[in-house]
Chains A and B, each alone.
Chain A
């Protein structure tokens, strides 16, 4: 089965840049989606098609995908960005695969 690995946590100061890696075998050949989940809430898509943002998601959120790593970048981090972030791909052998999740803490 296909596995996606994320760091458990990332800490960042307000105004700085947070980068969250999502590692998977040749993930660059797949299309990655990123979800943000705040405590007690349902996940929300922040990036789809590797780097596209849904309407309403700030431009501070961006994504890239190449080789064995996809990356979610949050620029000019704000307190409201504190949340868990999950990457997700679709794999023909595993169907939907989620990463293990990364907790972003704003210092």
Chain B
């Protein structure tokens, strides 16, 4: 069974940092492009960023609101994806989901974790 499990969420003050993890199982993790998507309370889905596989250079892409503050990395030996959140703002409060990407005729996210909640508040 393909499974993604996020962890690491919590309450943090504005300007603080947090590292989220996403443990993957049931598929060949080192062959999967991975994305983070977030959802603020009562709001819609917002793509945060992605990391490509090592064979594609392992490059990262980020959405404009988080570029320069968030960093995505992966440890293929541990089948784990990470999201480092720095310089957090109140508007970063959200449920953060990790997801596998499908990159074929269409690009979309087919397997999602259950999410982990990040609350930024003083």
Contact = CB atoms under 8 A, between A and B. Distances in A.
17 contacts: A33-B108, A42-B97, A42-B112, A43-B97, A45-B108, A48-B102, A48-B108, A48-B110, A86-B44, A90-B106, A90-B107, A95-B63, A96-B107, A96-B109, A98-B45, A98-B47, A100-B44
Contacts of A45: 108-110
Given A42-B115, A43-B45, A86-B44, A96 B106 contact: no
Interface residues of B, number: 21
Q: Which of A32, A42, A88 has the most CB of B within 10 A?
A: A42
Contacts of A35: 45
Interface string B31-45: 000010100000011
Interface residues of A, number: 23
A29 interface: no
Nearest to B97: A42
Given A33-B106, A33-B108, A101 B35 contact: no
Interface of B: 35, 37, 44-47, 50, 61, 63, 97, 102, 105-110, 112-115
Contacts of B102: 48
A48 B110 CA distance: 9
A9 B72 CA distance: 34
